[in-house]
Amino acid sequence: MSTLFISDLHLDASRPQATAAIARFLERLPGTCRRLYILGDLFESWIGDDDDAPLPDQVAGLLRQRAEAGLAIAFMAGNRDFALGPDYAKRAGFRLLEDPTAIDLHGRKTLLMHGDTLCTDDTAYQAFRVQVRDPAWLANMLAQPLAARRAFAAQARASSREHTAATAETIMDVNANAVADAFRQHQVDLIIHGHTHRPAVHEHMVDGRRCTRIVLGDWYEQGTVLVAGDDGSLHLDTVAIDTAMA
């Protein structure tokens, strides 16, 4: 029996190859995979559960099909799809998770996060995060017509690209103190997150305890999946993406 973790697919109509890759991934999942956790940024942007574009519907169909076949799917929002709500979760057949959430992973207490809250050196981003996570701000945004929300999302993506290009790599990575605090505060020795698009297994010593932090990768050149076996094994695997596909 195994549990899988993915994040940062950034699905978008402009990259059908990534949608094709997750479709193939879901179709080929062995029956021994019982749980799938999606740790944020499944979508490149999210303008509301009432979006009438084809992509959200297509992805909901893919996920719901596996959910109905017995795969337990849970989703935690990322900084791109933070507005994804319960209506879509119902359509896609998944459970919504708060960020962070501690789970029992085959007997090991494990903290799941998207990862953006660990990037505390990026103060400009953290200020933006506080704004968009405010329920009143979100309700106001979701009350706008779809066209206005599409325009806002396009603008947000453009300024995010500018910010990423102008900000040092180290500032956009996790802060060591924020990582140590997360291990301490939640009393875990394993954290799984995405967001930084730097797949790796990191070992940390926190107050004399050996701790492990696994970072999931994005789904651009190839996808990343963390496979957690019920024997305690943890493997970061890659998923092929047909980048020649237009």
Residues that bind Mn ion (CB under 5 A): 41, 78-79, 195
Dist CA 4 CA 229 (whole Å): 9
Residue 59 vs 76, nearer CB to Mn ion: 76
Smallest distance, Mn ion to C-beta of residue 207, A: 28
Q: Can you say whether the dihedral through the CA atoms of 92, 94, 95, 100 is positive or negative?
A: negative
Smallest distance, Mn ion to C-beta of residue 62, A: 21
Residue 64 vs 163, nearer CB to Mn ion: 163
Residue 65 vs 120, nearer CB to Mn ion: 120
Residue 40 vs 93, nearer CB to Mn ion: 40
Residue 51 vs 99, nearer CB to Mn ion: 99
Smallest distance, Mn ion to C-beta of residue 7, A: 8
Smallest distance, Mn ion to C-beta of residue 27, A: 26
Residue 33 vs 125, nearer CB to Mn ion: 125
Smallest distance, Mn ion to C-beta of residue 1, A: 29
181-190 contact pairs (CB < 8 A, 24+): 182/100, 182/111, 182/113, 182/118, 183/111, 183/209, 183/211, 186/100, 186/102, 186/109, 186/111, 187/109, 188/102, 188/109, 188/110, 188/111, 189/108, 189/109, 190/105, 190/108, 190/109, 190/110, 190/111, 190/214
Smallest distance, Mn ion to C-beta of residue 78, A: 4
Taking the chain, what is the end-to-end CA distance rounded to the nearest angstrom?
36
Residues 48 and 142 sit within 8 Å (Cβ to Cβ): yes
Residue 66 vs 195, nearer CB to Mn ion: 195
Smallest distance, Mn ion to C-beta of residue 10, A: 8
Dist CA 147 CA 160 (whole Å): 20
